[in-house]
Amino acid sequence: MSKPAYTSYPFICRSCLASGYIGAEARPEVCLECGGGPLVVHDELFSLSMAHIDCDAFYCSVEKRDNPELVDKPVIVGGGDRGVVAAACYIARRYGIRSAMPSWQAKRACPSLVVIKPRMAHYQKIGRQIRQMMQSLTPLVQPLSIDEAFLDLSGTQKLHNASPGLSLARLATRIKQEIGLTVSIGLAANKSMAKIASDQDKPDGYYVIGAAEARSWLASRPASLLFGLGKSQMAKLQAAGIQTCGDIASLPEGRRRALLGSDAGRLVNLACGIDPRPVVPHSRAKSISSETTFNENLSDYAALAALAETLSAKVSRQLKSQNRAAIRVVLKLKFANHRLITRSRSLSAPTQMQHDIFAAITEMLKLETGKGQSYRLLGVGADLDVLDAPETNIAPVSLLDLVDEKRQKKNKLEAAIDQLQEKLGEGVLKTGRQFKPQDKP
């Protein structure tokens, strides 16, 4: 008589949050404690501690939470007829609707589509609440955007009296109960694999990729999964018949550089499931500013605005070079008697653009000048968005850019000016405002 072959399966129950080992002949589907599930079952479930958490269809889920009539309807958050889709709910996605698609096209694909104007400040507030919950698990939280973050939970077992995997399941339940939104969790051995994992089981997902299986898990999957693979690299790979992560992992040394450029080493590692990057919580500068003291005191709005424009450009250049974004603009003025005042204005969405910064500055400057005062110093400052992600090498795209055509035009113009200045030097272009009488030919 042969004994049945029992295996011990590490598990977490998403319903009752029971956790431990189930001895069974086959992978268990139902929780022994509550009879429900779903169960997260994985050999490495209790040894992995790197996670990526991503809210499910965040903007749309917030709108549905706030207005239950929308729950069963196809919803997008985005611009009017001329704007684009900023976010699409899962029902809308069934019609092929995706982010960045023009709104009219989305409407045509789904005539019953509900289009909602973005409420960025509201989403940001909720994003912060969720981030605070994440930070209650570990100080090692690295936000990638308003609704997603990496968490390193190594060393937290004793503190929470739970494995990292169980702490994450508890967190998801808490976010559901207290905020009313679902998140998807990816648990893996490193950041790259955790990010890929969180996308596998959406919405309300929990997906585990172990260290031992990472390379074989990736082997048959598309190369486009790999983080930071650019369009031109993708085109080269496709032309060379390379489609999967496995293809990249097994590229001969000589061809790697030709196909992937200077980034080859990192990308081949990612394709093998290797990613040594640590989770870096934000501890960087919280503001950038630039100021100038005048030779003679100034009281004229036009003269002050011209200087403010130059300083706005300086701040914008620093934001762009550091890949940061401003969420608040600060005007600093020093009176002739050395008294200093600051005025600040919050922006409706994070930005790096000079025209946004300058627009906010001029509004404040107009209110302060014309009171007969004269000034000896002007400063332009930007308080920074802590949600931006320098390591992604992707400029933070403002939601406003997606929904506002005028802004898109201004952005394009500014990008062209930036390019010229990079080539020819900063003094090459001036606006009419920045010309001083002596500059005139």
Q: Which region among 48-56, 281-289, 331-339, 406-414 touches Mg ion (by CB under 5 A)?
A: 48-56
Q: Contact letters (x/-) for Mg ion, 99-138, by CB under 5 A?
A: ----------------------------------------
Site residue total, Mg ion (CB under 5 A): 4
Q: Where are the beta strands (DSSP E) in 232-368?
A: 287-298, 326-335, 340-351
Q: Which is nearer to Mg ion, 58 or 206 (CB)?
A: 58
* Peptide bond before residue 396 is cis, with ω within 30 degrees of 0: no
Closer to Mg ion by Cβ: residue 201 or 263: 201
Closest among 103, 105, 116 to 73, alpha carbons compared: 116
Residue 149 Cβ, how far from Mg ion at the closest point, in Å? 10
Least distance in Å: CB of 183 to Mg ion?
A: 8
Closest separation in Å from C-beta 88 to Mg ion: 11
Q: Give me the least distance between CB of 394 and Mg ion, in Å please.
A: 15
Q: How far apart are CA 151 and CA 102, in angstroms?
A: 34
Q: Which stretch binds Mg ion (CB under 5 A): 54-62, 112-120, 212-220, 325-333?
A: 54-62
Q: Does 147 bind Mg ion (CB under 5 A)?
A: yes
Backbone angles phi, psi at 20, to 5 degrees: 160, -140
- Residue-by-residue DSSP string for 129-160: HHHHHHHTT-S-EEEEETTEEEEE-TT-HHHH
User: Binding to Mg ion (CB under 5 A): which residues in 317-356?
Assistant: none
Three-state SS at 271: helix
| CA–CA distance, 108 with 111 (Å, rounded to integer) | 6
Report, as residue numbers or ranges, the catalytic residues. Answer: 148
Contact 305, 351 (CB under 8 A): no
Q: Work out which of 13, 53, 55, 402 binds Mg ion, going by CB under 5 A.
A: 55
Judged by CB under 5 A, which stretch of 37-45, 46-54, 329-337, 365-373 contacts Mg ion?
A: 46-54
State yes or no: residue 89 binds Mg ion (CB under 5 A). no
Whole-number CA gyration radius for the chain: 26
In the bound complex, what is the minimum distance in angstroms from residue 31's beta carbon to Mg ion?
Answer: 28
Report the C-alpha gap between 314 and 194 in whole angstroms: 38
CB within 8 A of 399, min separation 6: which ones?
86, 118, 120, 349
Least separation in angstroms between residue 80's CB and Mg ion is: 24
Q: Which is nearer to Mg ion, 86 or 311 (CB)?
A: 86
Select 130 or 311, whichever has its Cβ closest to Mg ion. 130
Q: Is 97 helix (H, G, I), strand (E, B) or coil?
A: coil
Q: Counting contacts by CB under 5 A, is residue 54 touching Mg ion? A: yes
Q: By C-beta, is 54 or 388 nearer to Mg ion?
A: 54
Residues at the interface with Mg ion (CB under 5 A): 54-55, 58, 147
